[in-house]
Chain A
């Protein structure tokens, strides 16, 4: 141990005393030599994140965009490309769902704001009718309006106008029906540009259907609430199906069933079936309100 300790202590041997003194002397290096070092030291700061970017982010982007594009291009095997496509679809769905929810929330907020603006006392009736016009496009609201009989609607609407308040749900239809019957010419030009278009669309699409007997059968119930969709569906089925009779009969029976389902709706209010012709004679509005 003593020999080992002596050996460990050999740098303190007098033989190397001058060398040790030489090594301990400060070098005559000025601080100017430190300046480029400090500049290099400063320059090394932003390089901290480079390894992360190079190692993770860039390969992730390349893989995330490259492999799906290869799959869609058909370069990869079918099974693998199918799996990738399903994965991409699921990702799209997962990403799109919250976006749609956010858009729906924004739309509802804006409609709420519009309703608040409408309900404010400074708003004129024309503004209220204009503001309440957009909900007409939705079939659910229009169907809600159709459940109430027309005479009661007029009275309600008159009351609403007299009080200066307009309810958002179904208010447009009520106001429109009221405007058609009220003596005051309310500016309700807006009510249904969409419905008029739909009506014209129905009319235009009705002409080929008159040629086919099944088209007539499906067309006759103008009070069909979902007539637009069904008509279009029938049109497609008639045009494409090799057996038009089967599809048309199905559609006609389906329409009749729907008619039979819809027609009893006004009856509980007491007006009954006779109210239907009055609605249909209102023109496009009447038929659409039944939607």
Chain B
């Protein structure tokens, strides 16, 4: 069980290493899969945390489901590291959408019940989020934007994806992504400026 500790490091890997790791992972070698996991897991977790911030959705569960999907289907995947990033974030995006649907179907507990049994709520999830106040403020501002704009900004800033990769994830054209990012950025700046003025 200590075997995974020998695979690479948690730091970002150069393009060649990721390409080799992807080839290995497609062939069925666990070492390649572990390298990919170490490279992408942190940013993927941050992306999911930022997208699910303020909701009752468990970010860790979404991340683990995403990786399980990747582990199941990586042999069918065809592409390079850039395509893999887009594929990975599109899976996580779909898992977030599924989690939101499941949450909306469930019966929401009353506030008294939440206080009595400490059922996970936006308040409790916020307590577990290990980020500075400034980061939380920016994430709250991003999530207050329209969903498409917030998604594009999160993918561009948090996940550090390019316009082309973001377009693949959200299944839109590159120009649409640029427009959404521009509008979202303008609205975000205005909101952050308004918040600072209010303070």
Query: Knowing A18-B135, A19-B138 touch, does A40 contact B42 (C-beta < 8 A)?
Result: no
Contact assessment for A31 and B46 in the assembled complex, using a CB-CB cutoff below 8 Å: no
- Tally chain B residues at the interface, Cβ within 8 Å: 44
Asked if B119 is at the interface (CB within 8 A of a chain A CB), the reply is no
B184 (CB) vs chain A CBs: closest residue: A10
Contact residues of A between 24 and 51, Cβ < 8 Å to B: 24-27, 29, 31-38, 40-42, 44-45, 47-48
Query: Knowing A27-B42, A38-B33 touch, does A16 contact B157 (C-beta < 8 A)?
Result: yes
Contact assessment for A44 and B157 in the assembled complex, using a CB-CB cutoff below 8 Å: no
Contact assessment for A11 and B41 in the assembled complex, using a CB-CB cutoff below 8 Å: no
CB A3 to nearest CB in B, in angstroms, measures 10
Contact assessment for B160 and A26 in the assembled complex, using a CB-CB cutoff below 8 Å: no
Contact assessment for B138 and A23 in the assembled complex, using a CB-CB cutoff below 8 Å: no
Instruction: Determine the chain A residues whose CB is within 8 A of the CB of B72 once the complex forms.
Output: 40-41, 44, 47
Contact assessment for B45 and A29 in the assembled complex, using a CB-CB cutoff below 8 Å: yes
A4 (CB) vs chain B CBs: closest residue: B178
Q: Of A15, A22, A40, which is within 8 A of B46 by CB?
A: A22
CB A148 to nearest CB in B, in angstroms, measures 74
Contact assessment for A37 and B67 in the assembled complex, using a CB-CB cutoff below 8 Å: yes
Contact assessment for A34 and B4 in the assembled complex, using a CB-CB cutoff below 8 Å: yes
- Tally chain A residues at the interface, Cβ within 8 Å: 31
Asked if A7 is at the interface (CB within 8 A of a chain B CB), the reply is yes
Query: Knowing A8-B163, A16-B157, A37-B68 touch, does A23 contact B4 (C-beta < 8 A)?
Result: no
Asked if B71 is at the interface (CB within 8 A of a chain A CB), the reply is yes
Contact assessment for A27 and B71 in the assembled complex, using a CB-CB cutoff below 8 Å: no
Asked if B64 is at the interface (CB within 8 A of a chain A CB), the reply is yes
Interface string of B45-85 (1 = CB under 8 A from A): 11100100000000000001001100111110000000000
Please give 12 more A-B residue pairs, beta carbons under 8 A apart, in addition to A23-B159, A36-B68, A38-B33: A11-B157, A11-B160, A18-B132, A19-B135, A19-B157, A23-B43, A32-B1, A34-B4, A35-B4, A37-B33, A37-B67, A45-B28
